[in-house]
Amino acid sequence: MGRGFYSQKNINAFYQDHVKYLIGVQTSLKFVRKMLDEVRQKMVTHAHYDSGCNLYYESFLMDWDYSEVKKRTGEIITDKKRLYLHLYYNDQKATDDKMAFNKLLDHLEEELQSGRRNPEHEKLYARYYEWKKTPVRGVSLTPKVEAIAKAERDFGYFAFISNGIKDPLEALEIYLTKDLIEKAFGNFKKRLNLRRTSVSSEENQEGKLFVQFISLFYLSYIKKAMSDHQLLKQYTIQELLEELDVVEQYRQPGGDKHIGELTKKQMDLYQALGVDPPSLV
């Protein structure tokens, strides 16, 4: 399953190489904007709501205008390819987007008024503000109300495109799982002491990387089990691991191992994960 940044060239390459892809795309893209504007009002209704994911969704089967240039002849081949567009709306994301946007506007205003302008923000200044400078009052800012309202209209929405996954909830699950693993790779570097490998041989380094690789398999399994048993409403993955991390095993010299007392909550979590509690091993 390919995941990459969106561009017409990349998408055409996926079709040419017969690669199944799932890609997050901006809602500002023309073909995404067109479909989103058509369903914006009816999409955020209970008929399109999933309580497990806590979001609203809608999907479309569309045509992708595929083109390919033959290397030897230079001939341009055009065709229509299948593309699924999945749209989503989440209330918490809308709140987060609003807070982040207001913080951005505060930064832009401070930079303009102080004269400490950031060259990377020039397009944002022009998009959201008009300003003039006077000897007495300094910089006077006038927000561009329509531009700001246009940005605010998309708070909470996000979109994926795929050529192989037609179910929007399945697409979301796959994307979030892959995203989780990518982020976890960085976290496990710290937990498994892999930010600095601190090894004296290539063999030892490969061993540490292999352990991390296997750890990510377990992490993916835990995420899937939590999703199947609706545990993501109660725990983050970190919280679940911390709940089980306090289970202790100890052994007297020459004796058998003993497991500390398990709570009913811990027993239920082991059962949900499909793992025998350590006291029964």
The pTM is what? 0.67
Average pLDDT of the chain?
84
Compute the Cα dihedral for 231, 232, 233, 238 and give only its sign: positive
Residue 81 pLDDT greater than 90, yes or no = yes
Is 122's pLDDT higher than 90?
Answer: yes
Residue pLDDT, tens place only, 235-248: 777 788 888 887 77
Q: How far apart are CA 278 and CA 153, in angstroms?
A: 51
Compare 216 and 69 and report the one with higher pLDDT. Answer: 69
Q: How confident is the model at residue 281 (pLDDT cuts 50, 70, 90)?
A: very low
CA distance 113 to 101: 18
Q: Is the pLDDT of residue 1 over 60?
A: no
Helix (H, G, I), strand (E, B) or coil at 146: helix
Q: Is the pLDDT of residue 264 over 70?
A: yes
For residue 3, how far is the Cα from the chain centroid? 12
* Per-residue pLDDT tens digits for 3-43: 456 788 889 988 988 888 999 999 999 999 999 999 998 99
Task: Encode pLDDT of 43-53 as tens digits.
Answer: 999 999 998 88
Read off the pLDDT of each residue in 180-190 and give the average, rounded to a whole number: 57
DSSP 3-state assignment of 254?
A: coil
Better pLDDT: 253 or 87 = 87
pLDDT of residue 251: 72
Please report the DSSP string for 50-111 in residue order: ETTTTEEEEEEEEEEEEEEE-TTT-PEEEEEEEEEEEEEE-HHHHHHHHHHHHHHHHHHHHH
